[in-house]
Amino acid sequence: MADTDRKLLERIWKEVARIPKGQVASYGGIARRAGLPRRARLVGHALKVAPDGLRLPWHRVVNARGAISFPAGSRPYRLQREKLEEEGVRFRNGRVDLAAHEVTDDLDALLWRPRRD
């Protein structure tokens, strides 16, 4: 793997590692935070090739609609949903309740979004 490629992956891994317990981020959101706008698919690839030793909270990454990207009913789907539910993440109609659980760095959302407690 080229050094440049490794650095891009490391930026993504760093952002995934920052997702707090009980919250989620979208693939696109992680890409933006890593300085890689419109590279959501690269985030998926980075999670797929991440070394096991990183112990990333991969399960906290969902698609832009708040849905789990694995095929519904598959083993990885069930595992991701179980891990999220164990952390208190709520689902509505098969999707994560993004209003309650999405990580945001948008100041307006932080100031004006309804409190979670």
Residue 55 DSSP SS3: coil
Q: What is the mean pLDDT of the chain?
A: 89
Look at residue 106 in the predicted model and tell me its pLDDT.
52
Angle, helix 40-49 to helix 3-17, in steps of 10 degrees: 90
Look at residue 104 in the predicted model and tell me its pLDDT.
73
H or E stretch covering 45: helix 40-49
CATH number among 3.40.50.300, 3.30.70.100, 1.20.58.740, 1.10.10.10, domain 3-112:
1.10.10.10
Residue 9: CA count within 13 A, CB half-sphere: 16
Q: Higher confidence at residue 103 or residue 90?
A: 90
For the residues 69-84, what does the mean pLDDT come to? 97
- Rounded Cα distance between 6 and 24, Å, is 24
Look at residue 108 in the predicted model and tell me its pLDDT.
52
Classify 93 in phi/psi space as left (phi over 0), alpha (psi -120 to 50) or beta. left
Domain range annotation of the chain: 3-112
Write out pLDDT tens, residues 24-60. Answer: 999 999 999 999 999 999 999 999 999 999 999 999 9
Token readout for 109 is 């959302």
CB 89 within 8 A of CB 80: no
Instruction: Collect all residues with Cβ–Cβ distance below 8 Å to 97 and sequence separation of at least 6.
Output: 66, 89, 90, 91
Look at residue 25 in the predicted model and tell me its pLDDT.
96
Look at residue 85 in the predicted model and tell me its pLDDT.
97
Question: pLDDT confidence of 78, banded at 50, 70, 90?
Answer: very high
Closest listed residue to residue 22, CA positions, set 57, 67, 70: 57
